[in-house]
Structure 1
Amino acid sequence: MSFTFAYIGVLGALLLLPALAWLKSLLNRKPAFLYSSAGLVRAVARKSESKASVILNWLRWLVLACFIIALARPRFVEAKRQIEASGIDIVICVDLSTSMLAEDFKDENGDRINRLAMAKKVVKEFIEKRPSDRIGLIAFAGEAHVAGPLTLDHDYLLNNLERLTFHYIVDGTAIGSGLVAAVNRLREVKSKSKIVVMMTDGENTGGEVTPISAANAAEALGIKVYTIGVGTRGLAPMPVYHGAGRPALDRRGQQIYRQSEVTIDEETLTEIADRTGGKYFRADSADTLRKVYAEIDELEKTKVVIKKSQRVEELLHWPILIGLILLLTEVALVNTIFRRIP
Structure 2
Amino acid sequence: MQFLWPEFLWLLLLAPLLVLLYLWLLRRKKKMAVRYASLSIVKEAMGKGPGWRRHVPPVLFFLALVTMLLAAARPTAVITLPSQQQTIILAMDVSGSMRATDVQPSRLEAAQAAAKAFLAELPRHVKVGIVAFAGSAQVAQLPTVNREDLVTAIDRFQLQRATATGNAIVISLATLFPDQGIELAALQVGRERPRGFAIDGEHKEKKEFTPVAPGSYNSAAIIMLTDGQRTTGVDPLEAAKMAADRGVRVYTVGIGTVDGETIGFEGWSMRVRLDEETLKQIANKTSAEYFYAGTAQDLKKVYNTLSSKLTVEKKETEVSALFALVAAGLSLVAAALSLLWFNRIL
TM-score by length of 2: 0.52
Q: Is 1:105 aligned with 2:97?
A: no
Q: CA deviation at 1:261?
A: 5.5
For 1:264 and 1:236, how far apart are their aligned partners in 2?
9
1:86–1:133 CA contact under 8 A, matched in 2: no
For 1:96 and 1:271, how far apart are their aligned partners in 2?
22
CA deviation vs aligned residue, 1:236-278 (integer Å, no higher than 9, x gap):
57453247xxxxxxxxxxxxxx8x7651111111010001111
1:151 to 109, 122, 144: 144
For 1:139 and 1:292, how far apart are their aligned partners in 2?
19
1:95–1:200 CA contact under 8 A, matched in 2: yes
Closer, same or farther: CA 203–232 of 1 in aligned 2, 3 Å: closer
1:139–1:147 CA contact under 8 A, matched in 2: yes
Q: CA deviation at 1:287?
A: 1.2
2:131 alignment partner, SS class: strand
Q: Is 1:125 aligned with 2:135?
A: no
Q: Is 1:240 aligned with 2:265?
A: yes
**1:290-305 map, 5 Å:** 290-302=300-312
Q: CA deviation at 1:85?
A: 10
Q: Is 1:93 aligned with 2:91?
A: yes
2:221 to 195, 200, 206: 195
Determine the structure 2 residue equivalent to 1:212: 237
For 1:302 and 1:282, how far apart are their aligned partners in 2?
22
Letter in 2 for 1:151: T
For 2:167 and 2:107, how far apart are their aligned partners in 1?
21
Q: Is 1:264 aligned with 2:274?
A: yes
For 1:87 and 1:228, how far apart are their aligned partners in 2?
19
**1:1-342 map, 5 Å:** 87-106=85-104, 113-130=105-122, 131-167=124-160, 171-188=161-178, 192-207=218-233, 209-234=234-259, 236=261, 238-242=263-267, 262-302=272-312
For 1:154 and 1:210, how far apart are their aligned partners in 2?
32
- Where does the alignment leave 5 or more consecutive residues of structure 1 unmatched? 1-83, 107-112, 244-257, 304-342
Number of positions where the alignment pairs a residue of Structure 1 with one of Structure 2: 195
Closer, same or farther: CA 235–202 of 1 in aligned 2, 3 Å: closer
* Cα RMSD for the two superposed structures: 2.6
1:96–1:165 CA contact under 8 A, matched in 2: yes
For 1:301 and 1:133, how far apart are their aligned partners in 2?
9
**Identity percentage over the alignment?**
33
Q: CA deviation at 1:165?
A: 1.9
2:263–2:271 CA contact under 8 A, matched in 1: no
TM-score by length of 1: 0.53
CA deviation vs aligned residue, 1:10-32 (integer Å, no higher than 9, x gap):
xxxxxxxxxxxxxxxxxxxxxxx
CA deviation vs aligned residue, 1:126-173 (integer Å, no higher than 9, x gap):
011112210000000011010000111111111111111214xxx210
1:269 alignment partner, SS class: helix
Give 1 or 2 for the bigger CA radius of gyration.
1
Closer, same or farther: CA 270–234 of 1 in aligned 2, 3 Å: closer
For 1:101 and 1:211, how far apart are their aligned partners in 2?
23
Closer, same or farther: CA 152–220 of 1 in aligned 2, 3 Å: same
- Where does the alignment leave 5 or more consecutive residues of structure 2 unmatched? 1-81, 180-216, 314-346
Closer, same or farther: CA 262–144 of 1 in aligned 2, 3 Å: closer
For 1:87 and 1:96, how far apart are their aligned partners in 2?
26
1:231–1:262 CA contact under 8 A, matched in 2: no
